[in-house]
Structure 1
Amino acid sequence: MVNIDDFVKRLEIILDYYGVNASSFADKIGVQRSSMSHLLSGRNKPSLDFVMKIIEVFPDVDIYWLLNGKGNFPKTNEDSTLQFEVISEIEKTIPPTSSNENFNTIDLFSEINPEKEKVETQNTSSIKNTIFNPDEDEVEKIIFFYKNGKFKTYVP
């Protein structure tokens, strides 16, 4: 877990290193100034999105250093070489996949048991009649889901 006080100290080190104030730093990474203020005051904890924006805009910031205080700031050539080696090892362990694979042709529901489906339908229809009472329950909205991934919402 990230210690918020230590994270704030490291964030202040980054601000000093780049010679920017909290407002301009927030503008550069694309977050609201108020969120930066809340973070520096210790009111809020940093989100993953916030951390990733810092790493994206300021490549000299090491994510491990920012989060845990381990590593170096600014990054050294040794750090980037180590990261390249780790990425290379990960790529070696991932099996290659063909770009022509079409995952849409797999029918995940082809093995549905029709008898079981019929029983479930019978049970739900009897349950529907006992649970839903139009006099007591008011329908908020009805949603239809289509096989092509689209849906329509009706509000009575």
Structure 2
Amino acid sequence: MVNSAHFAKRLQKILEYYGLSATAFSEELSFNRSTISHLLSGRNKPSLEFVMKVLERFPEVELHWLLNGKGTFPTSKNDEENIAKLKEEILKLKKNPPVQVEKIASEKVISEIENPSLQNNETQAASQIKISEAFQKNNPIERIVIFYTNGTFKEYKSE
């Protein structure tokens, strides 16, 4: 059986961990503010619907810990560290999206075209052979893709 006072302490720990106010927590779970208030004061016991929504919205919360206090929350310090690292990585990726291989390749080709003196004679000869082989085989061009520095691209297909 769930002890309302102990459940309220565990619920408060969840709010503190995620930095949520009771109002924000109620909005996250789509419950009335009064329901959360009654649970936090120990007046009411949690409904099955409430427990399931908490577990669904906050996957770090374990059922046995939430109901009986058995186990840990958050699950472990390693998990906390891993979550923090993942959040940092997500923020980094949002700020600086990964460079696409095609973008690097196109920049290299452009720099080689702009600075032909950087290429040695062997490289030039090899690239000319590859280009001439492509035309000798009468391979039709399927598409041309132009990559822009802002990460977008434009694709032209043959008709």
Structure of higher CA gyration radius: 2
The structure with more helix, counted as a fraction of residues: 2
TM-score range normalised by the length of the shorter chain: 0.3 to 0.5
| TM-score when normalising by structure 2 | 0.47
| TM-score when normalising by structure 1 | 0.48
